Structure 1
Amino acid sequence: MIPRLTGRLTRGTRPSPAGFDRRLIAPMVLGSVLNPVNSSMIAVALVPIGAAFGATPAETVWLVSALYLATAVGQPVIGRLVDMYGPRRLYLIATALVGAAGLLGALAPCLGALIAARVLLGFGTSAAYPAAMRLTRAEAERTGRDSPAGVLAVLAVAAQTVVVIGPSLGGLLIGTGGWRAVFAVNVPLSVACLVLGALRLPRAEHLPGAAREETAGPRGVDLPGMLLFAVTLVSLMLFLMDPRPAHWYLPALSAAAAFCFAARELRLPDPFVDLRVLGGNIPLLATYLRQFLGYATAYCFLYGYTQWLEEGRGLSAATAGLALLPLSVAALTASALTGRREAVRTKLVVGALAQLAGCVALLLVDAGSPVWVLLALGAVLGVPQGLIGLASQNALYRQADPARIASAAGLLRTFTYLGALGASAATAAFFPHRADTAGLHGLALFMLAGSVLLLATTLPDRSLNRLTPRATS
């Protein structure tokens, strides 16, 4: 008998479909876009928030960093809980936190409360993507059809789309309801996720046999391991956000916590991160490295090139924003056209080559470059943004332990944010005073080195040629 994956509303009333249950797609996609839309909307709210509370840019930037920090820690931690307790429970708890964060932000009396709301928002948006990966694996087991490329492409394209429209949506909300509307919009989004999740997501007892056994009896949550992991990551990320000699203690603390974390995890029979399995899974470690390299270059371009367009090329903020439209269009087009075919190695190679070409082109631009060249450059570097993340997502689905797919997916997002923070540090280093052309060329060389490493870790990796659908039961 085929296990039902339809939740309480449909239990016993209609059978599960033979293919992927499309009723799961709406809660999966809506929950997964909560993080990128909140990451991008805040960009247009920083100035009015600073004016409202008399805060400097150095203070309001914590509204961005707080979400990154909370999400980078929260994705793998909550992903592990998804593996242990099933996706439905964590999805509902986390999306309820999103609504609470929206209320806190909308009513916040001070900047500190807003930062707390962003931290809560980061944790609340950390469950949906690991839950979606877990549900995709469960559906493959239920149907016996291990062909997730189309579903994973939908998740990727949806995330890229909301990143593109996020600033525009934020501007519209601020124009109609002030900056507090950027936070308040999370309340109806949270309600929609809760309704869809409660009606459509399966309970743990209705998951297919293998997944049900994995979630039915959790053997205890490794709280000390999760705490040590958080200290390791937060210390490292705080240093990357402001890498100065005076902050020497942060990498030292990160290294010490990492040592204690590794020593603990290697002793436990059921650790938070199974380092023995992960250490032996070289292809998966390579996927994490490629995710870091790909997104470090992508965010260097996004942060650095945008600043240069305004300060080095002399464009207005609105015109600079329009100049990035080809990047967004190219990324969405690349994802949409290639999403239904996994072709992991091909996507990574093409993406790395496109990054190399874009970085070389960056070395040739200057303050007198025509606008059409700037537009073409954005289009070239949009292609890898549409390919690399999608390829890494498909690779991880094949390479990760099925019993830990959610926590593995969370770690993939963590490496994305590490790449973003590394890019932010590099941008600050090459633009110490203003975003001039010499600094842009230095940043381009940094990006070029990362792109070469990305290609170098892809070409000799023959395991990518063996990423084929697994047999399901």
Structure 2
Amino acid sequence: MSAPVTFDRRLLPALISGAVLNPINSSIIAVSLVPIGVAFGAPPSATAWLVSALYLATAVGQPVAGSLIDRHGPRRLFLIAASLVGIAGVMGTFAPNLGVLIAARVLLGFGTCAGYPAAIRLIKDQDGPTGVLTVLSVSTQTIAVIGPPLGGLLIGLGGWRATLAINIPLAVVAFALGWWRLPRTARAPGPRPGLDVAGMLLFAATLVALLLFLLHPGLSDWYLPVIALATGAGFAVRELRAPNPFLDLRLLGGNLPLLMTYARALLAYLISYAFLYGYTQWIEDGRGLSPAHTGLVQLPVFATAIAVSTASSSRLSIRAKLLVGAATQVLACGVLLTLEPSSPIAVLVLLSVVLGVPQGLNSLALQNSVYHQSDSERVGSAAGLLRTFGYLGAIVASAAQGAFYGRSADTPGLHELAVFLLVTAALFLVLVVADRSLRDLGRDHPRDEERA
């Protein structure tokens, strides 16, 4: 007989409300950068920090939030994080200058860190079926699609400040649902293990130095990788000696399948973000389409990703999802090499459809891999690290775009970027084929969908 179902479906609205805060703020800013630059008289190099600030805060904050959730339970961190999002929304709405607005985006990044690891933690604790993971994945993909058009609508109604103000009602809804639905975590008897503050600070210093260098690599910033190496070594020594480490490196080092999943996440998100920004920029600069037409050409990516995620959840094993995603990823990168300024619109649309397949399959498979491969007591921090590696891939993609494009996204630059992405996609495929542990993760059964 099957095990009794313990997952409470009434948790889903709260989990989704927290998990979507990060993707909507990652995507909605894309249409706000130009009007913000005009309002403050700031060049694109300055307004770009509105994007980088969220990346940095989220990359650092996700595993920290996940670790705190593992220790203290999801509810408390969820409510604190939702409050931070609301405060950041007020701060950004009334920001008098670009510096305050960047600070608001940093606070927003930290505030959006808890939603996803809290959701994974609760799904694990509640013995949630894999169908719930699919709902979570589709929700975040959908909200990422809605972000740019929603931003355009808000700017039309109330200016760019409305794209920050939207976080106020979103935070209120998330806080109310979290307060109402998320279960309270009983305090364990006896003294609680101490919080590894030193480990968290060393981790943050290492990641910030590394990411700052990747954002703007150059010989003049040689000291940043030096700092990253020094603090990284200190972090490793600290975590190996700490009685209750922030990240248990021994446990993580002994979990090769999970490390392989993180490596695949970095490569997958590198390719995904390179297409999202680099390829999109070429459509406008190299192919000469308007922003409105570019958005229409890219729409099939997200539509296909959502459809594929939903349709494949109970029909393909995790390994099969990754294999199909890897193969179509290689195909999409190869097609980039054939594009020219005269390429038909139909080819661009077809490429968007092809690209949507790995977008949907890889994100779902990586999420499910972490869910099954991580230690049940540390699934929150493991989920946070997945997002950290994803944002690391996004920042590498940004650096690659800057390296291959000159003053505009021309076709020769696109072809150089395509070669880099093709090598990356091939490496992703190798990591999938070589990882025998994926066979042991089994197949997501239709029964799981019924339990959802």
> Shorter-chain-normalised TM-score: which range?
over 0.9
Give the equivalent residue in structure 1 for 2:39. Answer: 52
Give the equivalent residue in structure 2 for 1:40. Answer: 27
Of 397, 409, 417 in structure 1, the residue corresponding to residue 371 of structure 2 is 397
Deviations 1:349-391 (A, max 9, x none): 1001001111111111111110000110111111101011110
Indicate how the Cα distance of structure 1 residues 254 and 342 shifts in structure 2: closer, same or farther if over 3 A, else same. farther
1:171 pairs with 2:145: no
* Alignment check: 8 A CA contact 1:149 1:342 kept: no
Which aligned pairs between 1:219-368 and structure 2 lie closer than 5 A?
Answer: 219-341=193-315, 343-368=317-342
* Alignment check: 8 A CA contact 2:316 2:443 kept: no
1:183 and 1:201 map into 2 onto residues whose CA distance is 26
Indicate how the Cα distance of structure 1 residues 420 and 217 shifts in structure 2: closer, same or farther if over 3 A, else same. farther
Q: CA deviation at 1:339?
A: 2.4
Which aligned pairs between 1:100-111 and structure 2 lie closer than 5 A?
Answer: 100-111=87-98
Which aligned pairs between 1:349-388 and structure 2 lie closer than 5 A?
Answer: 349-388=323-362
**Matched AA of 2:157:** T
Q: CA deviation at 1:326?
A: 1.2
2:358 and 2:421 map into 1 onto residues whose CA distance is 13
Q: CA deviation at 1:217?
A: 5.4
2:396 and 2:66 map into 1 onto residues whose CA distance is 23
Give the equivalent residue in structure 2 for 1:410. Answer: 384
* Alignment check: 8 A CA contact 2:145 2:302 kept: yes
Give the equivalent residue in structure 1 for 2:450. Answer: none
1:114 pairs with 2:88: no
1:199 pairs with 2:186: no
**Matched AA of 1:383:** V
SS at match of 1:269: coil
* Alignment check: 8 A CA contact 1:297 1:450 kept: yes
Unpaired stretches in structure 1, ≥5 consecutive residues: 1-16, 141-146, 206-211
**Matched AA of 1:376:** L
Q: Which moved more, 1:369-378 or 1:216-225?
A: 216-225
2:107 and 2:17 map into 1 onto residues whose CA distance is 18
**Matched AA of 1:182:** T
Indicate how the Cα distance of structure 1 residues 217 and 397 shifts in structure 2: closer, same or farther if over 3 A, else same. farther
* Alignment check: 8 A CA contact 2:318 2:443 kept: no
2:118 and 2:194 map into 1 onto residues whose CA distance is 19
1:84 pairs with 2:83: no
Which aligned pairs between 1:56-71 and structure 2 lie closer than 5 A?
Answer: 56-71=43-58
1:178 and 1:302 map into 2 onto residues whose CA distance is 25
**Matched AA of 2:370:** L
SS at match of 1:324: helix
* Alignment check: 8 A CA contact 1:149 1:341 kept: no
1:240 and 1:156 map into 2 onto residues whose CA distance is 28
**Matched AA of 1:57:** P
TM-score, with structure 2 as normaliser: 0.95
**Matched AA of 2:79:** L
Deviations 1:181-213 (A, max 9, x none): 1111111111111111111000002xxxxxx75
Paired residues, number? 441
Q: CA deviation at 1:468?
A: 4.6
SS at match of 2:434: coil
TM-score, with structure 1 as normaliser: 0.91
Deviations 1:267-289 (A, max 9, x none): 11210000000001000000000
Q: CA deviation at 1:462?
A: 1.2
* Alignment check: 8 A CA contact 1:153 1:340 kept: no
1:414 and 1:431 map into 2 onto residues whose CA distance is 26
2:41 and 2:339 map into 1 onto residues whose CA distance is 38
**Matched AA of 2:17:** L
* Alignment check: 8 A CA contact 2:318 2:442 kept: no
2:125 and 2:408 map into 1 onto residues whose CA distance is 50
2:335 and 2:152 map into 1 onto residues whose CA distance is 32
Deviations 1:314-347 (A, max 9, x none): 1111111111011111111111111245611101
1:438 and 1:217 map into 2 onto residues whose CA distance is 62
Q: Which moved more, 1:81-90 or 1:357-366?
A: 357-366
2:6 and 2:54 map into 1 onto residues whose CA distance is 36
Unpaired stretches in structure 2, ≥5 consecutive residues: 445-452
* Alignment check: 8 A CA contact 1:131 1:406 kept: yes
Q: CA deviation at 1:432?
A: 2.0
* Alignment check: 8 A CA contact 2:66 2:117 kept: yes
**Matched AA of 1:386:** G
1:437 and 1:248 map into 2 onto residues whose CA distance is 31
1:149 and 1:445 map into 2 onto residues whose CA distance is 36
1:369 and 1:171 map into 2 onto residues whose CA distance is 28
**Matched AA of 1:116:** A
* Alignment check: 8 A CA contact 2:317 2:443 kept: no
Give the equivalent residue in structure 1 for 2:449. Answer: none
Deviations 1:128-182 (A, max 9, x none): 1000011011101xxxxxx631111111111111111100001111111111111
* Alignment check: 8 A CA contact 2:133 2:368 kept: yes
* Alignment check: 8 A CA contact 1:349 1:455 kept: yes
Indicate how the Cα distance of structure 1 residues 461 and 217 shifts in structure 2: closer, same or farther if over 3 A, else same. farther
SS at match of 2:244: coil
1:132 and 1:216 map into 2 onto residues whose CA distance is 27
Deviations 1:83-130 (A, max 9, x none): 000000000001000000000001111111100100000000000100
1:339 and 1:111 map into 2 onto residues whose CA distance is 43
2:277 and 2:193 map into 1 onto residues whose CA distance is 43
Q: CA deviation at 1:460?
A: 1.9
**Matched AA of 1:263:** V
Indicate how the Cα distance of structure 1 residues 217 and 334 shifts in structure 2: closer, same or farther if over 3 A, else same. farther
1:88 and 1:129 map into 2 onto residues whose CA distance is 12
2:443 and 2:252 map into 1 onto residues whose CA distance is 21
**Matched AA of 1:455:** L
What's the RMSD between the two structures over aligned residues? 1.5
Q: CA deviation at 1:434?
A: 1.5
* Alignment check: 8 A CA contact 1:75 1:127 kept: yes
Give the equivalent residue in structure 2 for 1:424. Answer: 398
Q: CA deviation at 1:410?
A: 0.2
